[in-house]
Amino acid sequence: MPLERLSSQKCFGGWLQRFRHRSAALDGDTVFAVYLPPQAEQGKKLPVLYWLSGLTCTDENFMQKAGAQRLAAELGLILVAPDTSPRGPDVPGDPDGAWDFGLGAGFYLDATETPWSRHYRMHEFVVDELPALVEAHFPASDKRAISGHSMGGHGALVCALRNPGRYRSVSAFAPVANPMHCPWGEKAFSHYLGADRARWREWDASVLIGQAREMLPILVDQGERDAFLVEQLKPAVLQAAARAANYPLTLRIQPGYDHSYYFIASFIDDHLRHHAAALCG
């Protein structure tokens, strides 16, 4: 799988780069960003943190706004950020041009309904294809962690819960924690997965946490002044499901913080250290 390098900038002794490649899972070209810390030039393989961004975002938002590279350079973590959906002239979007479905809103699942099922296979891409690509082309080990924000927080939780043994750690910022019971999730799931709500349960972290075969400790940060907190995010549902399953979830409600990258940048170091503890020992 050849890579086309789009950009490369020196950053905290390492390199922030963007690449384009042809994705089999997405049936089209896609772009992802990689931060290689300075230890990547020393010849040994490094652990990788995969970051999944939220609605309307691309691979660039996290790398430009979260401020994660400084500590990643210190800890020796590779950061990888894919796009949030397939894109291209043949990829269908929302027929009404809405921002919360289609392009930029892949919800990190594998669609089963036409016309979405041809391209919208973000789960397969994130879990299987992207790590294989990263581990083939960069000094990356198979020690993987996953995190994300909002729709990407949902994606990170679901990727970890559905694939025991694939990741060493998981965390999320303001995840869409119960998508089958919120407007964003109901809209996306009904299009991507069809009307049978029983199939939606396979992509809802608040359901999956009760079925988990692996107990990776989850760290979740949620802003108390997040405008989407009550209607869309529903962290209390995730917390209740974790308690019922005796699952190790740490949910931190952060007073005064909203849904923005100012919130993420304020607590990203805690998440990087959470992952480094599992990845690096």
pLDDT digits (tens, 9 = 90+) for 50-64: 999 999 999 999 999
**Residue 281 — very low, low, confident or very high, per pLDDT cuts 50/70/90?**
confident
Percentage with pLDDT > 70 across the chain: 100
Residue 1 has pLDDT above 90, yes or no: no
Are 65 and 261 in contact, with CB atoms under 8 Å apart?
yes
Is 141 a catalytic site residue? Answer: no
**Six token digits for residue 37:** 């810390």
Are 265 and 66 in contact, with CB atoms under 8 Å apart?
yes
**Residue 215 — very low, low, confident or very high, per pLDDT cuts 50/70/90?**
very high
The residue from 226, 271, 274, 275 that is catalytic is 226
How many Å apart are CA 120 and CA 134, to the nearest integer? 21
Q: What is the pLDDT of residues 96-107, one digit of tens each?
A: 899 999 999 999
- Average pLDDT value for residue range 193-219: 97
Residue 233 has pLDDT above 90, yes or no: yes
> Rounded to whole angstroms, what are the CA distances from 232 to 37, 178, 228?
35, 8, 5
Which region, left, alpha or beta, applies to residue 64 given φ > 0 means left and ψ of -120 to 50 means alpha? alpha
Q: What is the pLDDT of residues 155-204, one digit of tens each?
A: 999 999 999 999 999 999 999 999 999 999 999 999 999 999 999 999 99
Q: What is the mean pLDDT of the chain?
A: 97
- Give the residue extent of every domain in the chain: 4-280
Is 269 a catalytic site residue? Answer: no
Is 226 a catalytic site residue? Answer: yes
pLDDT of residue 43: 85
Residue 267 has pLDDT above 90, yes or no: yes
Rounded (to 5) percent helix, strand, coil in the chain = 40, 25, 35
Decide yes or no: CATH 1.10.580.10 for domain 4-280. Answer: no
pLDDT of residue 9: 98
pLDDT of residue 17: 98
The residue from 85, 150, 169, 171 that is catalytic is 150
Are 211 and 163 in contact, with CB atoms under 8 Å apart?
no
Percentage with pLDDT > 90 across the chain: 97
| Residue 108 C-alpha from the chain's centroid | 8
DSSP state string for 95-157: TT--TTSBTTB-TTSB--STTGGGT-BHHHIIIIIHHHHHHHHSSEEEEEEEEEBTHHHHHHH
Residue 238 has pLDDT above 80, yes or no: yes
pLDDT of residue 86: 98
Q: What is the pLDDT of residues 17-50, one digit of tens each?
A: 999 999 999 999 999 999 999 999 998 999 999 9
Residues whose CB is less than 8 angstroms from the CB of residue 281 and which lie 6 or more positions away in sequence, other chains included: none
The residue from 259, 271, 274, 275 that is catalytic is 259
Residues whose CB is less than 8 angstroms from the CB of residue 199 and which lie 6 or more positions away in sequence, other chains included: 112, 193
Which ranges in the chain belong to alpha helices (H)? 60-65, 69-75, 122-124, 130-137, 151-162, 183-193, 197-200, 205-208, 235-245, 261-279
Instruction: Check the CA dihedral 121-106-53-198 and report its sign.
Output: negative
Q: What is the pLDDT of residues 125-151, one digit of tens each?
A: 999 999 999 999 999 999 999 999 999
How many Å apart are CA 271 and CA 279, to the nearest integer? 12
How many Å apart are CA 274 and CA 281, to the nearest integer? 11
How many Å apart are CA 67 and CA 136, to the nearest integer? 27
